[in-house]
Amino acid sequence: MQAAPAVTGRLRRLDWLHLGHARYHAQRACHCQANRHTLCPMNGIPSLIGPNTIDFEVAFLYYVCKSGHMDNSRAIDAFSALSQSTRLETFRLLVRHEPEGLPAGEIARLLGVPHNTMSTHLGVLSRAGLVVSRRHSRSVIYRANLERIRETVSFLVRDCCAGHPGLCEPLLQELRPCYPTEEGDPFMISVIYHNPDCGTSRNTLAMMRQSGEKPHVIEYLKTPPSREKLVELLSAMDMTPRELLRRKGTPFDELGLDNPELSDGQLVDAMLSHPILINRPIVATEKGTRLCRPSETVLSLLPHPVAEFTKEDGEIVRFGGTAS
């Protein structure tokens, strides 16, 4: 089997032993799926790849999400990028200007750094994943990638205090309001990928809030997930890309996405190019990650779900009981 283009060219300073291990399992998973083997060294990858497609990149990203083998290299990248004073000042400046960000020229002016030097520093921060950019008219706007810092801080304290979590509770309390986090993260808060124009999504968010949650709300049409994040969400929900696709009110038919020959990678690319294709809402809490359709699905993910909720259309939902 000829593997699809590997992700390795986009990753820096990886632990090559771990990378080789990840690639081996991803390729083995693709091979097992292609030959319809029932056993596979990476549990779960065949269901992600799908019965008629082989996508090495999606399988590889799935393995990395599950294994955590990238933690060391990603943390080293972040620390290395921030170990230079101008880059550290640049990142802290961008944090203070979240979520609007700053043009590259304004960053250079505020820090008193020549434009070409600042361009080099921003390139280092971008490659480390610490900043993201977008073009606005003639300017390039840079923003701090707070999720990347959350990931790095979480990596540092994940196994803290030798089984005595109370010792680091002050640190967790200080950071918890600032960072949207992932399932299993010590800073875990609830997250909803939300479309405010969708009634199901609005009901889901309202149920969360009435249950005492203060979720981090990501309007994914404005802030789409990265490819890695989307694959991570798919693996957490144990869903294939095709299962997450939304058809109604989207360019699904126009793009010919009902074609069974399309690979998972192609379907993921379509969702990234047209975020409206991502079905909603997706909710992640400390109890799991799910596509919450119908909206009351979210109640099983909440630590203290509301006993009764009235939807926008008047339907009453009783958790653990019957709806009326």
Q: Which residues are catalytic?
A: 198
Q: Residue 288 and residue 109: Cα distance in Å, rounded? A: 45
Q: How far is CA 35 from CA 28, 40, 62, 266, in A?
A: 11, 11, 20, 21
6 CB burial (10 A radius; 0-12, 13-18, 19+): middle
Q: Mind spelling out the 3-state secondary structure of 107-154? A: HHHHHCCCHHHHHHHHHHHHHCCCEEEEEECCEEEEEECHHHHHHHHH
Crossing angle for the helix pair 71-82 and 115-127, to the nearest 10 degrees: 160
Short-list 237, 316, 235, 221, CA closest to 271:
221
Q: Residue 306 and residue 324: Cα distance in Å, rounded? A: 16
Q: Structure tokens of 163?
A: 């089984």
